């Protein structure tokens, strides 16, 4: 899942939703290291780990290519791992905040809106930087481990919200794990379809199942 979308006033793509949630300053004031991480996250989502070229990361981050090894001596692997970790944390913070403000049903609907905005230019480029990191295994276990930690943190936030609504802990954990898998799978399908129908169906299916879960908890 990527919640990083929108455009800054300068017309440069930034991660408005996610960055606001995480109190990350706007692109212009971020330093070179942050800009490189931002560029790496976007390219991971769009092209996957194999397709993430360092020259494109530098261009997307508006940073000199030579600065990559200054900030990330471990090169591409370090850059991708830190980008996936950072996006994982940003998304978790966004999920937690939305759950408190809106509850799970509206948070699911909001996922749909966020992806709709992200995909408005080109649904066939939609993707999740964390899923891209996930697919790096077995070539890069550290990157895959960062992805798993992120997925589990999102699950944890959703399970906690379900428990607050009266769902038993085991059912809450199972449902939360399904939510994360469903949204990730829907992104793969959306990319293939080139339109948002698979994502809409997945969100609708989760909403339908959530209604049943909550009704049974009462």
CB of 10 to a copy of itself, least distance (A): 27
CB of 196 to a copy of itself, least distance (A): 12
For residues 71-87, one letter each, b for 16 or more C-beta atoms within 10 angstroms of the residue's C-beta and e for the rest, the string is bbeeebebbbbbbbbbb
The interface region with a copy of itself, picked from 33-41, 70-78, 97-105, 207-215 by CB under 8 A, is 207-215
Residues composing the chain: 218
| Cβ–Cβ under 8 Å, residues 114 and 5 | yes
Q: Which residues inside 165-184 make contact with a copy of itself, applying CB under 8 A?
A: 171, 173-175, 177-184
| Cβ–Cβ under 8 Å, residues 123 and 188 | no
Q: Which two tokens stand for residue 203?
A: 């969100």
| Cβ–Cβ under 8 Å, residues 200 and 186 | no
Binding mask 59-98 for a copy of itself (x = CB under 8 A): ----------------------------------------
SS3 57: helix
Residue ranges that bind a copy of itself, judged by CB under 8 A? 48, 50-51, 122, 124-125, 131, 133-135, 137-138, 141, 144-145, 147-148, 151, 171, 173-175, 177-189, 191-194, 198, 201-202, 204-206, 208-209, 212-213, 216
């Amino acid at each position: 899942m990527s919640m990083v979308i929108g455009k800054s006033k300068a017309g440069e793509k930034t991660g408005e939703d996610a960055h606001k949630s995480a109190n990350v300053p706007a692109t212009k004031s971020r330093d070179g290291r942050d800009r490189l991480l931002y560029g790496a996250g976007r390219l991971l989502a769009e092209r996957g780990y194999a397709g993430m070229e360092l020259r494109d990361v530098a261009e997307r981050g508006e940073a000199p290519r030579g600065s990559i090894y200054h900030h990330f001596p471990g090169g591409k692997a370090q850059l991708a791992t830190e980008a996936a970790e950072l996006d994982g944390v940003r998304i978790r913070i966004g999920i937690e905040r939305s759950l408190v403000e809106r509850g799970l049903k509206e948070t699911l609907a909001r996922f749909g809106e966020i992806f709709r905005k992200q995909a408005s230019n080109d649904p066939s480029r939609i993707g999740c930087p964390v899923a891209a990191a996930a697919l790096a295994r077995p070539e890069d276990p550290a990157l895959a481990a960062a992805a798993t930690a992120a997925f589990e943190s999102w699950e944890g936030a959703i399970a906690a919200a379900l428990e607050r609504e009266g769902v038993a802990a085991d059912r809450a954990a199972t449902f939360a794990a399904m939510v994360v898998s469903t949204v990730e799978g829907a992104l793969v399908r959306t990319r293939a379809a080139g339109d948002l129908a698979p994502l809409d169906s997945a969100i609708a299916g989760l909403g339908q199942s959530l209604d049943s879960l909550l009704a049974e908890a009462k």
